[in-house]
């Protein structure tokens, strides 16, 4: 039985991601402190989302079959929404498509249509290895590894322009988030909540100061939001547990919120045409929060239908059969 406090924060994390996309895509050509007010929350939400998954997975000993089953479910849902959106755009001729649009929609994971999904799938594949790392490293070694990962993937790409993991949105921060979640669950027992709140607020404040005085939006990626998320996560862990079947059910669908609202075909239509423009709204904060909430509600409702389809038409069985066959093939060689 899943603790609903984590599932509620999974929903909140996705809400924060949608809020940040309003500042990135939904405010037109105006780029100032007013329009960028939500941008720091995207990476914080992403890191919290990964930490929650890591907290539950870090003490498991996943078999090859379980790993493939988890990956195949993510892959299947990604393909479902990517193909459905492509079909809608083709049938209703919503926008002009090129060969890259079509190929990336047909093969969304292979063509990195969603950076987060591709990296998250890679992270899920690495879970057995990461869990062994958490077991065999000392607490200090884990913290040292996290610091190195955050520097390489959260500092170097922003200020040096180089990282072995790719650009400023990369799997390195995801691995660091996963490892910190494991460290929190296994080793972090006693800490000052007020200290962690202070670190969270400090990381967020530095981002806002950089945006306001230096018009630097790159600080909303990488190390600073990671520090804020890492300070917030132990507080989430220590908060009071509760159980709500409704929250747990809704949390299962927030993954689809990302798949629908960040699809490359959807972005220019949703954020460029249908969503509000910053110039047209006196109070961007209220308009942004209400818009993000509306998007979350609509996309979660859509995905509740998908979950019914997945169960009724054998999606889970298909994932189970494929993962079982892949596991047997690998283990037999």
> Which DSSP string do the residues of 67-78 spell out, in sequence order?
HHHHHHHHHHHH
Q: What three-state secondary structure class fits 269?
A: helix
94 CB burial (10 A radius; 0-12, 13-18, 19+): middle
CB atoms near residue 114 (< 10 Å): 21
pLDDT of 194? 94
pLDDT of 247? 97
**How many Å apart are CA 166 and CA 171, to the nearest integer?**
8
Supply 328's token pair: 């047997």
CB atoms near residue 39 (< 10 Å): 23
In sequence order, which residues have a C-beta less than 8 Å from that of residue 134 and are 6 or more positions away? 58, 142, 179, 182, 183, 186
Supply 274's token pair: 């249908």
From 17, 15, 11, 22, select the one nearest 275 (Cα to Cα).
22
**How many Å apart are CA 50 and CA 176, to the nearest integer?**
10
- Inter-residue contact 5 to 232 (CB < 8 Å): no
From 321, 322, 319, select the one nearest 310 (Cα to Cα).
319
- On the CB side of 323, CA atoms within 13 Å amount to 22
- Inter-residue contact 10 to 3 (CB < 8 Å): no
- pTM attached to this predicted model: 0.92
**How many Å apart are CA 42 and CA 23, to the nearest integer?**
10
Residues of the chain whose pLDDT is less than 70?
Answer: 28-30, 161-163, 273-282, 333
Name residue, tokens 């007010």: 37
- On the CB side of 236, CA atoms within 13 Å amount to 26
pLDDT of 322? 85
Q: What is the DSSP letter of 58?
A: T
Alpha helices in 155-283 (DSSP H): 156-159, 171-186, 193-214, 223-238, 245-251, 254-261, 266-269
pLDDT of 159? 76
pLDDT of 278? 47
> What are the angstrom distances between the C-alpha of 199 and each of 145, 194, 272, 284?
20, 9, 35, 27
Supply 281's token pair: 């709204």
252 CB burial (10 A radius; 0-12, 13-18, 19+): middle
């Amino acid at each position: 039985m899943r603790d609903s406090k984590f599932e509620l924060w999974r929903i909140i994390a996705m809400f924060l991601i949608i809020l940040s996309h309003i500042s990135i895509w939904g405010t037109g050509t105006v780029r100032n402190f007013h329009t960028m007010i939500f941008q720091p929350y995207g990476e914080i939400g992403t890191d919290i989302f990964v930490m929650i998954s890591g907290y539950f997975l870090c003490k498991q000993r996943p078999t090859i079959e379980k790993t493939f089953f988890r990956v195949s479910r993510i892959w299947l849902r990604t393909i479902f929404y990517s193909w459905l959106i492509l079909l809608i755009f083709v049938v209703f001729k919503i926008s002009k498509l090129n060969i890259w649009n079509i190929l990336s929609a047909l093969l969304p994971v292979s063509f990195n249509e969603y950076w987060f999904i591709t990296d998250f799938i890679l992270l899920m594949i690495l879970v057995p290895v990461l869990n062994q790392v958490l077991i065999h490293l000392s607490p200090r070694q884990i913290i040292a590894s996290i610091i190195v990962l955050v520097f390489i993937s959260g500092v170097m790409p922003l200020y040096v322009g180089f990282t072995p993991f790719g650009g400023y949105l990369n799997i390195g921060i995801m691995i660091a988030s996963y490892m910190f979640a494991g460290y929190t669950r296994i080793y972090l027992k006693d800490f000052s909540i007020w200290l962690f709140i202070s670190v969270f607020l400090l990381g967020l404040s530095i981002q806002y100061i950089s945006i306001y005085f230096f018009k630097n939006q790159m600080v909303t990626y990488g190390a600073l939001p990671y520090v804020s998320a890492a300070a917030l996560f132990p507080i989430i862990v220590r908060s009071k547990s509760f159980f709500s079947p409704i929250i747990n059910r809704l949390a299962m669908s927030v993954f689809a919120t990302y798949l629908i609202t960040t699809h490359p075909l959807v972005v220019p239509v949703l954020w460029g045409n249908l969503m509000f423009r910053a110039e047209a709204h006196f109070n961007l904060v209220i308009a942004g929060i209400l818009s993000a909430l509306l998007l979350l509600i609509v996309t979660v409702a859509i995905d509740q239908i998908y979950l019914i389809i997945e169960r009724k038409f054998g999606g889970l069985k298909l994932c189970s059969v494929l993962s079982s066959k892949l596991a047997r093939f690998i283990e037999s060689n």
